[in-house]
């Protein structure tokens, strides 16, 4: 019994050991996502709206190196269309790609040129190199967005919260340094900027990104009212897709695999009972 | 115990082969191996571990086909190429990365079973030692595998762990330089880790062969710890244990698949989704969960070399168990006192694991500051790990001294008696109940 209990505890703890670092920032806001449940899928209309926010706002500073235009038309992606199983033939994808100018080498002269993008190209980097990116943004390089939703504790809710919290409510007594913006959801230490009660230093930190979104900043094609909340929610969902584009395939294969495994285990259980039926043990 | 061979070649070609390479005889006798009939589900982890090793090797070989072991290319080859472009790459990597955790989960349960039921005692000391060697090789392999995606935690984990070796007097710095292939963790480190990560699993497979060989000389132990006395105490391995192990493996795969398909990032750390950057140190460097107890012991000792010795000692003592524990009674089922000390030992390892995941100066009771003793406040994670580590080591001393005063329960005459008599001869306690159903 002791063994049973301790091992059950070992199993539970081993699987659920949370890494609890000391937090200096607010936990991300609770957001409901269409994809959060074990079988939840992306909301394609939301991904399309989120893409528009990325295209018109984020992409001017943030790269998304690991995503190709063709990925937008992949199954589970924002512009997947069953009529075009090959995303390279998807007219929406082709139009999006052609809208970008991609650096290349002229195949006759060898000179550096720019040409319209094709579906096989990747989203181009807004800066020539990381140093240029830093120089243009007060010394802080805007992080690449391909994996951002997986690379931050809280995932899409963190992205949503950072965007919503940027400069939203600056407590009286907090002197934010020039070129920086207060955000309660980002890790940091505000002690040096706090003029109030030293025991009540506000949680959060400073971020170099100015508040990126505002109501009506992006006009959605599907007629959805573009409140700031809607824009932030949609772009966070889009970035979750960018970080985990195979989620829908993964969950679909997972359901089939689980059905098979449960049936297979059942068969093995009956075989086991059958083989051991007449054995005293 | 394996007894005379039961194989009789029936055809001319089988007789011809049998006198040259008796491989069919080997297979037939292997499947017919006499196995105690009272093994419970804790004995299915051998088969589960065999499955884990094969799954890791198969998925690993496929991943290596798509992986680029260079500082500039490793992260992209994993996160962009394998995860997005390779057909079912997300699945193969999901199995491989989470498979390491599943492998360790199974190996820990397998080892705890060995300790609880005294499986390491004579005549199975070599079997136990080989198992411990496999475990150490697994840790080395897993550590190097974790470095390969070349994320922030890969890089900084490699830096912290390889730096430990520098604490070894005289030869430490040379070993570290050799391991790094230079004077910092860099491309050459990644290259040799990739090479060794591909090599070591096959070394593990070879030691597994020895492990199974060493098992087949004395045969399995069993929950009562009583030696097999006659043929009637045993059943042929096939079909009785192939079907039971098969069922257990299938249940294990259900747990495994749940993680791979629905919680693929359950063991992942967000920092490792950022490419390695030698100029940016993550706020909190932690190893994977299966190494956390040792990490906590390392940090609990206020001296670097002392910490490394503590870490090594925590593993070395497990090797030495057959010579530490001299109790005549094999199974803790009949050792109620030892059982309690064992339960607390498992608890101490879990507490150490928790401590390893925390900041060393984190507070156990938030907001309470007491007084500093040996660098840390009494109310700190470090002091919790010091106390837990003390018990972790004390357990081995207790186990060594316990037979001097321990009162054990009566041990049945044969492993089969308690079952045949339907519990009449069972010593007090319900410990046998689970085995009734097999």
* Inter-chain CB proximity A251 and B260 less than 8 Å: no
* Inter-chain CB proximity A3 and B342 less than 8 Å: yes
Of B91, B268, B346, the CB nearest to A253: B91
Chain A CB contacts of B42 below 8 Å = 3
- Residue B140's pLDDT is 96
> Closest-CA residue in chain A for B106?
A11
- Residue B77's pLDDT is 98
pLDDT over 80 (residue A16): no
Q: How far apart are CA A164 and CA A179, in angstroms?
A: 18
- Residue B414's pLDDT is 87
Contacts A–B by Cβ distance under 8 A: 156
Residues 6+ apart with CB under 8 A from B151: B75, B271, B272, B273, B274, B275, B276
Give me the residues paired with residue A114 across strands.
Answer: A103
Q: What is the pTM of this model?
A: 0.92
Of B244, B342, B346, the CB nearest to A10: B346
Q: How far apart are CA B107 and CA B47, in angstroms?
A: 11
* Inter-chain CB proximity A246 and B84 less than 8 Å: yes
Distance from CA of B80 to the nearest CA of A (A): 6
Homologous superfamily in CATH for domain B40-285: Cytochrome Bc1 Complex; Chain C (1.20.810.10)
The answer to whether residues B324 and B396 touch, using CB atoms and an 8 Å cutoff, is yes
- Find, among B422, B330, B285, B388, the residue nearest to B128 by Cα: B330
Tokens of B357: 């995941």
Q: For chain B, give every domain's residue range.
A: 1-32, 40-285, 295-407
Task: Find the mean pLDDT for residues A231-259.
Answer: 98
Distance from CA of B405 to the nearest CA of A (A): 21
Chain A CB contacts of B83 below 8 Å = 246
Residue bearing the bigger pLDDT, B283 or A11: B283
> Closest-CA residue in chain A for B92?
A250
DSSP states of A151-211? SSTTTHHHHHHHHHHTTS---TTB-PPTT-EEETTS----GGGB-S-GGGPPS-EEESS--
Q: Which of A272, A273, A277 to mutate to test the interface with B (most CBs of B within 10 A)?
A: A272
The answer to whether residues A8 and B348 touch, using CB atoms and an 8 Å cutoff, is no
- Residue A23's pLDDT is 55
Chain A CB contacts of B266 below 8 Å = 15
Averaged confidence pLDDT in chain A:
91
Chain A CB contacts of B90 below 8 Å = 246, 249-250
- Residue A21's pLDDT is 42
* Inter-chain CB proximity B246 and A268 less than 8 Å: yes
Q: Which of B83, B111, B154, B222 to mutate to test the interface with A (most CBs of A within 10 A)?
A: B83
- Residue B367's pLDDT is 78
| pLDDT bracket for residue A1 (50, 70, 90) | very low
Q: Which of B55, B72, B74, B79 to mutate to test the interface with A (most CBs of A within 10 A)?
A: B79
Q: How far apart are CA B192 and CA B182, in angstroms?
A: 12
Quick one: A128 exposed, middle or buried, by C-beta within 10 A (0-12, 13-18, 19+)? Answer: exposed
- Residue B241's pLDDT is 97
- Find, among A13, A28, A8, the residue nearest to A159 by Cα: A28
Residues A158-198 have pLDDT tens digits of 999 999 999 888 888 899 988 899 999 998 888 889 988 88
Between positions 28 and 67 of A, the ones with CB within 8 A of B are: 38, 65-66
- Residue A266's pLDDT is 98
> Closest-CA residue in chain A for B87?
A246
Of B42, B247, B290, the CB nearest to A265: B247
* Inter-chain CB proximity A261 and B244 less than 8 Å: no
Residues A46-102 have pLDDT tens digits of 999 999 999 999 999 999 999 999 999 999 999 999 999 999 999 999 999 999 999
* Inter-chain CB proximity B240 and A276 less than 8 Å: yes
List chain B residues with pLDDT less than 50: 1, 420-438
Distance from CA of B248 to the nearest CA of A (A): 9
């Amino acid at each position: 019994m002791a063994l049973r209990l301790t091992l059950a505890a070992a199993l539970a703890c081993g699987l659920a050991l949370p890494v609890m670092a000391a937090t200096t920032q607010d936990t991300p806001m609770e957001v409901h996502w269409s994809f959060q449940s074990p079988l939840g899928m992306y909301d394609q209309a939301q991904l399309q709206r989120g893409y528009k926010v990325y295209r018109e706002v984020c992409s001017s500073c943030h790269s998304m190196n690991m995503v190709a235009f063709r990925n937008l038309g992949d199954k589970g992606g924002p512009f997947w269309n069953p009529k075009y199983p090959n995303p390279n033939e998807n007219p929406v994808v082709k139009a999006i790609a052609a809208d970008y100018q991609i650096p290349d080498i002229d195949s006759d002269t060898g000179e550096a040129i720019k040409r319209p993008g094709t579906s096989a190209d990747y989203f181009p980097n807004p800066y020539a190199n990381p140093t240029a990116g830093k120089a243009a943004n007060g010394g802080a390089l805007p992080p690449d967005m391909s994996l951002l939703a997986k690379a931050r504790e809280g995932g899409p809710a963190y992205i949503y919260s950072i965007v919503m919290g940027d400069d939203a409510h600056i407590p009286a007594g907090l002197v934010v340094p020039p070129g920086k913006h207060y955000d309660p959801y980002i890790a940091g230490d505000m002690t040096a900027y706090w003029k109030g009660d030293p025991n009540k230093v506000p949680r959060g930190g400073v971020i170099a990104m100015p508040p990126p979104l505002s109501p009506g900043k992006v006009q959605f094609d599907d007629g959805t009212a573009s409140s700031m909340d809607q824009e932030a929610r949609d772009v966070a969902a889009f970035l979750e897709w960018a970080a985990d584009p195979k989620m829908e395939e993964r969950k679909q294969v997972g359901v089939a695999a689980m059905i098979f495994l449960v049936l297979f285990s059942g068969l093995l259980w009956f075989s086991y009972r059958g083989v051991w039926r007449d054995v005293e043990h | 115990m394996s007894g005379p061979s039961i194989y009789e070649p029936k055809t001319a070609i089988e007789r011809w082969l049998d006198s040259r390479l008796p491989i069919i005889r080997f297979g037939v006798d292997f499947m017919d191996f006499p196995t105690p009939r009272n093994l419970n589900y804790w004995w299915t982890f051998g088969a589960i571990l065999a499955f884990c090793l094969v799954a890791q090797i198969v998925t690993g070989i496929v991943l290596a086909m798509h992986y680029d072991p260079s500082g500039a290319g490793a992260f992209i080859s994993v996160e962009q190429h394998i995860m997005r472009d390779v057909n079912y790459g997300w699945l193969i990597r999901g199995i491989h990365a989470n498979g390491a955790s599943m492998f360790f989960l199974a190996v820990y349960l397998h080892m705890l079973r060995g300790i609880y039921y005294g499986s390491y005692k004579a005549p199975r000391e070599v079997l136990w030692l080989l198992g411990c060697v496999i475990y150490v090789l697994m840790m080395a392999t897993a550590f190097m595998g974790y470095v390969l995606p070349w994320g922030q935690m890969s890089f900084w984990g490699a830096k912290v762990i390889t730096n430990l070796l520098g604490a070894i007097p005289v030869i430490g710095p040379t070993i570290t330089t050799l391991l790094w292939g230079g004077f910092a963790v860099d491309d050459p480190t990644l290259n040799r880790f990739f090479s060794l990560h591909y090599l070591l699993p096959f070394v593990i497979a070879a030691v597994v062969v020895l492990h199974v060989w060493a098992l087949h000389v004395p045969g399995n132990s069993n929950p009562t710890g009583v030696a097999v006395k006659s043929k009637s105490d045993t059943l042929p391995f096939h079909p009785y244990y192939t079907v039971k192990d098969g069922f257990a493996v299938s249940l294990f795969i259900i747990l495994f698949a749940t993680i791979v398909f629905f919680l693929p990032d359950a063991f992942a750390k967000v920092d490792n989704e950022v490419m390695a950057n030698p100029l940016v140190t993550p706020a909190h460097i932690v190893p994977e969960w299966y190494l956390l107890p040792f990490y906590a012991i390392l940090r609990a000792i206020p001296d670097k070399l002392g910490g490394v010795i503590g870490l090594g000692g925590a593993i070395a003592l497990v090797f030495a168990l057959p010579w530490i524990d001299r109790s005549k009674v094999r199974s803790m089922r009949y050792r109620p006192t030892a059982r309690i000390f064992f339960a607390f030992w498992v608890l101490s390892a879990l507490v150490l694991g928790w401590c390893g995941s925390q900041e060393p100066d984190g507070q156990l009771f938030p907001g309470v500051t007491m007084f500093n003793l040996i660098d840390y406040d009494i109310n700190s994670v470090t002091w919790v790990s010091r106390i837990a580590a003390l018990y972790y080591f004390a357990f081995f001393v207790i186990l060594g001294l316990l037979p001097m005063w321990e009162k054990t329960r009566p041990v049945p005459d044969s492993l089969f008696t308690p079952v045949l008599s339907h519990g009449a001869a069972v010593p007090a306690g319900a410990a046998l109940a689970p085995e009734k159903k097999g």
